[in-house]
Structure 1
Amino acid sequence: MISKTFSAIRDGLGLYDHAEKAKRPTFHEIRRLSAKLIDEMGINPRQRMAHASDKTTQIYTDKNDVEWHKVPPISVAI
């Protein structure tokens, strides 16, 4: 429910209108980024996220993210 409400408010305010709807940041993407930044500051984000256990918080702060790199497109001759 919170994700849909967040997206509706985000779109209603016109935030990220320049991006396709599917590429606009979601509630959980922003929450994950916040948790990772807090963790990188050396502060345990568990209490701020209101999680009962560190295991739940680790879902947001794990280090197994895929790192994306923008590269120019190429053409392949057939």
Structure 2
Amino acid sequence: MLDAFEGKDQVDIVEAFSYPLPVTAICKVLGVPREDEPRFHGWADALASSLDPRPAATVRRRRSRRARTWART
């Protein structure tokens, strides 16, 4: 991940490092193949956003259900 910063003047450290690092570690522990990490990232975001108790979270809850379905397969 750090190699991707080479030659860049500016980097969004959260987007490029702080979020991907733990996701990569979690995927490794769970046995998620490297090529499925972007898919897992989307699933994790959908699942986390479904925890919002506000009414506007309905769409996120639907995404979360789809993500959970994907995770079971």
Bigger Rg over Cα:
1
Shorter-chain TM band: 0.3 to 0.5
TM-score by length of 1: 0.36
TM-score by length of 2: 0.38
